[in-house]
Copies of this chain bind each other. A is one copy, B any other.
Amino acid sequence: MTSRDRLHLYDTTLRDGQQTQGVQFSTPEKLRIAAALDALGLDHIEGGWPGANPTDSAFFDAAPKTRAILTAFGMTKRAGRSAENDDVLAAVLNAGTPAVCLVGKTHDFHVTQALGITLEENLDNIRASIAHCVVQGRETLFDAEHFFDGFKANPDYALACLHAAHDAGARWVVLCDTNGGTLPVEIGEITAAVIAAGITGDRLGIHTHNDTETAVAGSLAAIMAGARQIQGTLNGLGERCGNANLTTLIPTLLLKEPYASRFEIGVTHEALRDLTRVSRMLDDILNRVPTRQAPYVGASAFAHKAGLHASAIVKNPTTYEHIDPALVGNARIIPMSNQAGQSNLRQRLSDMGLDVPRDHPALPGILDEIKAREDQGYSYDTAQASFELLARRALGEMPRFFEVKRYKVTVERRKNKYDRMVSLSEAVVVVKIGEEKTLSVSESMDEHGHDRGPVNALSKALAKDLGPYQRYIDDIRLVDFKVRITQGGTEAVTRVIIDSEDATGRRWSTVGVSANIVDASFEALIDAIQWKLIRDEAPAS
């Protein structure tokens, strides 16, 4: 055990990951992601570039307590001023993080063309900036931008830049393949050349991009050549085609040869079991559909479609699986005979407290209905409560509580008395409980006078007067509301997933699907209420 080399994992999801087109984390989202990275066992968490944009500064102001070394990103000082007088650098240091990572040029062409300064001035910028951070007691990293292209163009100068940072006290010198164009074989050779030139592997990092679909392999090649820090992002987020995917690299380093027996990382086997959940959480924050084919964590990663494979898997899973999916918190999918589907279904129902005997006549019908509804856009993986209601209906175990006879929602936008455009929604709901009919009306204004929209009005009207059921639903709180268009274009169908919570801390999810978003929301709201009535054992009407 002790003879294995320690590899250090440096996460840049919150900085380089945010360069992904369409990605912009809020500060609370950054805090959630940082907590997940920390629990996973990453060594460094790069939180952003303080001073470059308000969310990044706000994140460092909120300074999460992490076991991982929180790192602020910035760039080497500009020419013509001292490190002490560079305001951009000052903003980075002012974030007060234990570590600082500064990017600087190492490709001669970029120094003279993009920066327009001399090669010597750039070396001086690197030296002075790193030394300035080191003097302040910060662990200092140097991101060598365009290093591989620079090395191929002018190896002596590229190496001189690394030495400038190294000799000024940088804890890590990181070889960045900024344009993502260097293939693994060259990354391995050049990393070995750097080590031969005197930068030892235990101070050397690798930062790759996926422009040739080899960011993971490039990182692995650099490790083989001697680099000991790997920079990457969760789910391979990042500019253009993304950064090296830590969601893939972590299980590979922990489980696969020739790496697992030669190296150790800060992620434990226990934490690894959380990997799939963390990956899905990030997609959830980004409101992205998780990539089915993602290695290790994708829904298809252990799905066996080929008939030959599926039947062999039943005998022995190792025949067509490179690892046990449970090690990364994922699960095997065998879309095969009705028989297997049915035992799966019975297990799920039993988890919900519905014990259904084998060969119950309703089982095939439930499977068919799930499949038909999933074709329409429903998703029962997440909406477990709606799944339970569907099964209860088929099994004849669904009590009759109330019926919504009709509803009407109005959205209006017009000038108010101060001549400002304002919008307001209003909902009327007619509910029948037993022989009793009630009309309720609510509007969408919240306590601050803001319009919260038609779904808010509808939800309030529904919860306003449910007669004998009122006491059961009073503590329901809508905690999340997710909308996804499941078919593009004019045939767009909307899927709404609603997460609800009650005073006991119970959380449940329901789904509705319709071309009409208000109607899809209505369906999910009704399911949410009915599920709660069942759980609290409310009497049928």
Which of A's residues lie within 8 Å of B, judged by CB?
18-22, 24, 26, 52-55, 75, 110, 113-114, 178-181, 183-186, 210-214, 216-218, 220-221, 224, 236, 239-242, 245, 248, 252, 256-259, 287, 289, 292-296, 298-309, 312, 315-316, 319-323, 333, 335, 337-339, 371, 374-375, 379, 381-382, 404-415, 423, 425, 444, 450-456, 477-490, 492, 494, 514-519, 522
10 A-B pairs whose Cβ atoms sit less than 8 Å apart in the complex:
A19-B305, A19-B306, A181-B256, A183-B220, A183-B257, A184-B220, A211-B296, A214-B220, A406-B415, A454-B454
The one of B113, B213, B301, B319 that contacts A240, using a Cβ cutoff of 8 Å: B301
In the complex, the answer to whether B415 meets A21 with C-beta atoms within 8 Å is no
- Name the residue in A114, A185, A224, A413 with the highest tally of chain B Cβ atoms < 10 Å from its Cβ: A413
Residues of B within 8 Å of A455, CB to CB, are 517
| Measured CA separation A257–B309 after assembly (Å) | 37
| Measured CA separation A302–B220 after assembly (Å) | 25
- Name the residue in A21, A22, A110, A289 with the highest tally of chain B Cβ atoms < 10 Å from its Cβ: A21
A487 to chain B: closest residue by CB: B26
A263 CB to nearest chain B CB (Å): 13
A527 CB to nearest chain B CB (Å): 15
A300 to chain B: closest residue by CB: B21
| Measured CA separation A486–B285 after assembly (Å) | 9
In the complex, the answer to whether B21 meets A518 with C-beta atoms within 8 Å is no
| Measured CA separation A488–B241 after assembly (Å) | 25
Residues of B within 8 Å of A452, CB to CB, are 490, 492, 515-516
| Measured CA separation A478–B303 after assembly (Å) | 36
In the complex, the answer to whether A408 meets B410 with C-beta atoms within 8 Å is yes
In the complex, the answer to whether A444 meets B516 with C-beta atoms within 8 Å is yes
In the complex, the answer to whether B183 meets A252 with C-beta atoms within 8 Å is yes
| Measured CA separation A295–B211 after assembly (Å) | 5
Known: A406-B412, A483-B494. 9 other contacts (CB 8 A): A52-B307, A184-B220, A185-B224, A186-B257, A214-B217, A217-B218, A239-B303, A450-B515, A481-B488
With A184-B184, A484-B483, A494-B453 already in contact, the answer to whether A241 and B298 are too (CB < 8 A) is yes
Residues of B within 8 Å of A300, CB to CB, are 20-21, 240-241
| Measured CA separation A322–B239 after assembly (Å) | 13
In the complex, the answer to whether A55 meets B183 with C-beta atoms within 8 Å is no
| Measured CA separation A275–B256 after assembly (Å) | 34
Residues of B within 8 Å of A413, CB to CB, are 404, 406-408, 519, 522
In the complex, the answer to whether A179 meets B321 with C-beta atoms within 8 Å is yes
| Measured CA separation A514–B453 after assembly (Å) | 8
In the complex, the answer to whether B414 meets A411 with C-beta atoms within 8 Å is no
A177 to chain B: closest residue by CB: B322
In the complex, the answer to whether A480 meets B484 with C-beta atoms within 8 Å is no
In the complex, the answer to whether B295 meets A519 with C-beta atoms within 8 Å is no
| Measured CA separation A180–B298 after assembly (Å) | 14
In the complex, the answer to whether A322 meets B180 with C-beta atoms within 8 Å is yes
A428 CB to nearest chain B CB (Å): 9
| Measured CA separation A383–B61 after assembly (Å) | 31
In the complex, the answer to whether A517 meets B483 with C-beta atoms within 8 Å is yes
- Name the residue in A211, A216, A248 with the highest tally of chain B Cβ atoms < 10 Å from its Cβ: A211
Residues of B within 8 Å of A482, CB to CB, are 485
A146 to chain B: closest residue by CB: B319
Residues of B within 8 Å of A488, CB to CB, are 289, 479-481
In the complex, the answer to whether B240 meets A24 with C-beta atoms within 8 Å is no
A438 CB to nearest chain B CB (Å): 16
With A257-B186, A407-B412 already in contact, the answer to whether A485 and B483 are too (CB < 8 A) is yes
Residues of B within 8 Å of A304, CB to CB, are 239-240
In the complex, the answer to whether B241 meets A295 with C-beta atoms within 8 Å is yes
In the complex, the answer to whether B183 meets A309 with C-beta atoms within 8 Å is no
